[in-house]
A and B are shown apart, each in its own frame.
Chain A
């Protein structure tokens, strides 16, 4: 269910598409409550209760400890349930790898648990399962990560396995042969999933082929074939180094116990003598005029519509307030996009927008799967909503709602071990601070409607947008023309040009 999906996205740093940073918490400021429903005297239900302003939730900041091999440890203790999550994040993802070997960081992460230390791939998997633990590894554009979740009684044994995976992966030929084949097949399968196609093509066409953020973190069908086992061994040595790593630990463990356990399990993980490689900061996409792209899926019942334009880097002071504007536009059920496209017109099961959190310049994305024959209207209405937001910004009521929602989301995020771990690992992967959520909260608390309106004007102007439609091309082309959007370029499921 969503719980698991959301966790994996946030915690292991999703394999494709800049994973949205976990919603930053916010303090709900005292505000004028909405007027209660006035019930007729005879109404047995009575008037609608108007909630008192919720107690502002301030998330706890993690302890920062020194870890093995000059690593850092972010620890947030939670002792209610006997669960612990441990994640290790290194700040090198697909943006740092050679473009022609796109997917190298992803494949390197994938190979961590394919045999490690004294155990071959089968025995390693068995050892994880014997503990009832869950291990996952992946890479996104800005970072690579591995995480393990287990009952706290299994922590010591789980850390020993995690250390083997990170420090002593076996990189055996027979395992790589199998993993590589599975990876290539999965990429082929990806071409038939319209939402995956939309994500891959949107990013590729927006950044342009030569930009380090353009290719999907799990690679393309062509680049995956170029990644070989020696590349992986070398890449592992280059990026999986403790002096660049952050341990994120959340759950039922005390700091003294954790420090001792990490020192013991990771005793062999030493910082190399050479300095760590530079962290990729590829900068924004080259400015260009508005463009349209179509991926043809003949007879598909829906067209996946995406609008994308530039956003701020995750460390930009604008990021936290901009995420407030995004919630109003397409980040909750009552958001403008969802209300218009779903609740007013019935064209979609849901419409949303996001501000992708990336170390370097990110993207603002609007996306919805639209009934194919309604795509012209959906393009028009989505554009209208974004243009209105850019022109008029947010009103006080919008701002109050968003603040209240952020307060609720902060409770949600910090209510579970997996939620906290996901949020902290996301911050670590982007080079943000351990108490970033607290800082974001403060920024959101103080942002005024006027300031937010100025940001909306800057970041929701669609003059230089890229539009991607994945669905039947005839309907797509007609809808683009009806909306005065550029004549489309036709691309395949990975964004490469195809003949029309």
Chain B
């Protein structure tokens, strides 16, 4: 995920009023409506504190980029803050901060979302600013604006990947995992060359095609009344036309085959690091698809806590590794199950790989114990509640459910995926995903002095 802003400025507005009798039963009440122009509006009321959070999600992201324009969706996200006739450059932020609000945006492989938060009196301003740029921004971008944000984005690439230890993996892994024709083949941040090639015409075309009310959903969460929000949404967004009649060219899940790997793809990268890192990556089911929850639990069984399989063996007992993490990195088309091992100085990477494979072979031979599964589920139960603390987080979650499942009310079905998972199901999915003969293995090694 790429953020427009330098991380310290990401807003963290939150309240604690989600109804929860326990981690096993969550209620995330909402009302949903759709404007005549196709904009979906979702409202979640929470009156604990006088605050509001908005999340406007567009169904466009790096997977939808044209050849030779990698990184464009994220660059465009930056351009959305560069001003319009009604809100000239810099005023979007200036007006918002003057009233005590904050905002940011993020682009992933699947979606782009724009979010604001602050005292609840700011809601009309938030909606007015978002509606203004949804209506007019495409025609407002000129070469100087494009050049400036191009520079900022290229600095973001330098800071977050090129000048950060092991950061280059983020750039290279997608290219190794996915064939060139796959929408996930390139990293979200894009290449310097493609960013340089982006033109003002590209901006206008992209805007007209994707930034339209029938391609978006607005969530408003916090100290608001649903009826009032619907009236405000109609007032500010209702008049915005769909500029193009044809549907946006969007990569749909049904059109993309589940990628596979039938061999071990290896690559070694040199970087300014002290220790070698091994990254193993496997193709895995998409977010919310069967097997996705089982792999979250498997990741916990492998690397969460000292008694987890990989940590216990590689770090605790054999002193081969400095750290190990396993994660199911879920996306909408398909996901990646990743294992990262930081190799201790003086230890052979080959030896670590061999030891890791031995553990994985054991994992594939027998279902995890009931105790391991229970432990993993308990950790998920806490994380599930913990991540819902702020209204901003809830606003985004409602939009993720809307985008991926077409159902903002998916929260309990989401939780049920984990409750219903069992040891046998985890083993079945592990066998499908942890394919020793079909994976990417990247090593990042200290570069020669």
Band of interface residues on A: 35 or more
> With A346-B151, A352-B6, A404-B98 in contact, do A52 and B12 touch (Cβ < 8 Å)?
no
In the complex, are the beta carbons of A83 and B12 less than 8 A apart? no
Given contacts A81-B385, A132-B382, contact A192 B165 (CB under 8 A): yes
Interface stretch (choices A91-99, A180-188, A284-292, A427-435)? A180-188
Q: Flag whether B325 is at the interface (Cβ < 8 A).
A: no
Task: Say whether B122 contacts A51, CB under 8 Å.
Answer: yes
- Which residues of chain A (330-360) have a CB below 8 Å from chain B? 332-334, 338-339, 342-343, 346-352
Say yes or no: is A325 at the interface (Cβ < 8 Å to chain B): no
Query: Nearest Cβ distance between residue B119 and chain A, in whole angstroms?
Result: 3
18 new A-B contacts, CB < 8 A, other than A48-B86, A81-B385, A404-B98, are A2-B12, A3-B12, A43-B86, A54-B118, A57-B49, A125-B307, A126-B305, A132-B381, A132-B383, A182-B315, A189-B273, A193-B164, A339-B90, A371-B154, A400-B98, A405-B102, A415-B15, A415-B49
Q: Give B446 Cβ to nearest chain A Cβ, in Å.
A: 9
Q: Can you list 11 residue pairs at the A/B interface with Cβ under 8 Å? A: A53-B121, A81-B20, A122-B316, A125-B307, A126-B307, A149-B382, A149-B386, A188-B345, A193-B165, A404-B97, A405-B97
| The residue from B14, B23, B150, B382 contacting A133, defined by CB atoms under 8 A apart | B382
Q: Take A45-B132, A48-B87 as given contacts and tell me if A347 and B51 are in contact as well, using a CB distance cutoff of 8 Å.
A: no
Given contacts A45-B131, A151-B382, contact A54 B121 (CB under 8 A): yes
Q: How far is the CA of A72 from the CA of B222 in the complex (A)?
A: 34
A209 at the interface (CB under 8 A from B): no
Query: Is B11 touching A412 in the complex (CB atoms < 8 A)?
Result: yes
Which residues of A have CB within 8 Å of B120?
54
Within 66-124 of A, Cβ neighbours of B (below 8 Å) are at: 78, 80-83, 121-122
A259 at interface, CB cutoff 8 A: no
Contact with A along B111-135 (1 / 0, CB 8 A): 0000001111110110010011001
Contact check, B163 vs A301: say whether CB atoms are below 8 A apart.
Answer: yes
Query: How far is it, in angstroms, between the C-alpha of A352 and the C-alpha of B10 when the chains are bound?
Result: 13
Query: B163–A302 contact, CB under 8 A?
Result: yes
Nearest B residue to A300 via CB reads B163
The answer, among B99, B160, B235, B391, for a CB contact under 8 Å with A51, is B99
- In the complex formed, the residue of B with least CB distance to A134 is B382
Q: Is B367 at the interface (CB under 8 A from chain A)?
A: no
Binds B, one of A237-245, A311-319, A416-424, A438-446: A416-424
* A53 partner residues in chain B, CB cutoff 8 A: 121
Does A6 belong to the interface (CB within 8 Å)?
yes
Contact with A along B42-60 (1 / 0, CB 8 A): 0000001111000000000
Chain A 1-30 per-residue mask, 1 if CB under 8 angstroms from chain B, else 0: 111011000000000000000000000100
Picked from B15, B20, B95, B128, the residue with its CB within 8 Å of the CB of A82 is: B20
For residue B204, CB closer than 8 A to chain A, the reply is no
Q: Is A219 an interface residue (CB 8 A)?
A: no
Contacts of A1 in B (CB 8 A): 10
Is A130 an interface residue, CB under 8 A from the partner? yes
A254 to chain B minimum Cβ distance, whole angstroms, is: 16
Closest to B381 in A: A132
Distance in angstroms from B298 CB to nearest chain A CB is: 15
Q: Is the CB of A333 within 8 A of B345?
A: no
Contact of B6 among A34, A83, A349 (CB under 8 A): A349
Instruction: Report the Cα distance A149→B387, complex, angstroms.
Output: 12
Task: Chain B residues near A49: list those with CB within 8 A.
Answer: 124-125, 128
Chain B contacts with A in 80-106, Cβ cutoff 8 A: 86-87, 90, 93-95, 97-102
Whether A486 sits at the interface, judged by CB under 8 Å, is no
User: Bound state CA distance, A46 and B236, in angstroms?
Assistant: 8
In the complex, what's the smallest C-beta–C-beta distance from A147 to chain B, in angstroms?
Answer: 13
Interface centre among B17, B95, B236 (most CB of A within 10 A): B95
Asked whether, in the complex, the Cβ of A78 is within 8 Å of the Cβ of B98, the reply is no
Within the assembled complex, what's the spacing in Å between the Cα atoms of A189 and B345?
10
**Contact flag A182-B322 (CB < 8 Å), given A51-B124, A408-B102:** yes
B390–A349 CB distance below 8 A: no
User: Does A414 have its Cβ within 8 Å of any Cβ on chain B?
Assistant: yes
Cβ of A212 under 8 Å from chain B: no
Give chain B nearest CB distance to A172 CB in angstroms.
13
Of chain A, the residue at the smallest CB distance from B162 is A301
Asked whether any CB of chain B lies closer than 8 Å to the CB of A55, the reply is yes
In the assembled complex, B389 has its CB within 8 A of some CB on chain A: yes
Whether A412 lies near B13 (C-beta < 8 A) is yes
Q: Within 8 Å CB of A137, what residues of B? A: none
Q: Total A-B pairs in contact (CB under 8 Å)?
A: 275
The CA of A397 and the CA of B95, in the complex, are separated in Å by 12
Q: Is the beta-carbon distance between A55 and B159 smaller than 8 angstroms?
A: no
User: Are B99 and A178 in contact (CB-based, < 8 A)?
Assistant: no
Q: B375 in the interface, Cβ–Cβ < 8 Å? A: yes
Beta-carbon nearest neighbor of B150 in chain A = A346
B 1-31 to A, binary, CB cutoff 8 A, 1 in contact else 0? 0000111111111111110111100000000
B14–A80 contact, CB under 8 A?
A: no
Question: A43 to chain B: closest CB distance in Å?
Answer: 8
| In contact, A416 and B16 (Cβ under 8 angstroms) | yes
For residue A472, give the distance in angstroms from its CB to the closest CB of chain B. Answer: 11
Select which of A57, A194, A297, A404 is within 8 A of B50 by beta carbon: A57
From A81, A153, A188, B18 is in contact (CB under 8 Å) with A81
Residues of A within 8 A of B9 (CB): 332-333, 350
Q: Is residue A481 within 8 Å, beta carbon to beta carbon, of the partner chain?
A: no
A411 with B49: CB separation less than 8 A:
yes
Chain B min CB distance to A55 (Å): 5
Contacting B at CB under 8 A, from A386-410, are 397, 400-401, 404-408
Kindly state whether residue B378 has any CB partner on chain A within 8 Å.
yes
Are A415 and B391 in contact, with the CB atoms below 8 A? Answer: yes
Contact B148 A343 (CB under 8 A): yes
* B99→A302 contact, CB < 8 A: no
Would you call A349 and B156 a contact (CB within 8 A)? yes
Interface status of A255 (Cβ within 8 A of chain B)? no
In the A-B complex, list the 5 residue pairs whose CB atoms are closest, starting with the nearest: A350-B6, A346-B151, A54-B119, A132-B378, A404-B100
Cβ 8 A contact of B14, one of A346, A397, A404, A415: A415
Q: Say whether B272 contacts A192, CB under 8 Å.
A: yes
Q: Which of B8, B163, B239, B307 contacts A44 (CB 8 A)?
A: B239
Give the CA-CA distance A351 to B380 in the complex, in Å. Answer: 36
Contacts of A352 in B (CB 8 A): 6, 8
CA distance A332 to B16 in the complex (A): 25
Establish whether residues A188 and B274, one from each chain, have CB atoms under 8 Å apart when the complex forms. Answer: yes
> Counting CB contacts under 8 A, is B218 at the interface?
no
CB within 8 Å for A131 and B378 given contacts A2-B7, A192-B165, A334-B93: yes
B22 touches A153 (CB 8 A): yes
B319–A178 contact, CB under 8 A? Answer: yes
Q: A275 near B: Cβ within 8 Å?
A: no
Q: How far is the CB of A410 from chain B (nearest CB, A)?
A: 9
* A45 and B155 contacting across the interface, CB-CB below 8 Å: no
Q: Does B304 contact A (CB under 8 A)?
A: yes
| Residues in A neighbouring B251, C-beta threshold 8 A | none
Complex-state Cα separation, A346 to B147, whole angstroms: 9
Given A301-B158, A333-B9, A411-B49; A417-B322 close (CB under 8 Å): no
Question: Does B275 lie at the interface of the complex (its beta carbon under 8 Å from any beta carbon of A)?
Answer: yes
Give B296 Cβ to nearest chain A Cβ, in Å. Answer: 13
List chain A residues, Cβ under 8 A from B149: 346
| Cβ contacts A128-165/B at 8 Å (1 or 0 each) | 11111110000000000000011101000000000000
* Known interface pairs A193-B164, A348-B155; A3-B125 also in contact (CB < 8 Å): no
B150 to nearest A CB, angstroms?
A: 8
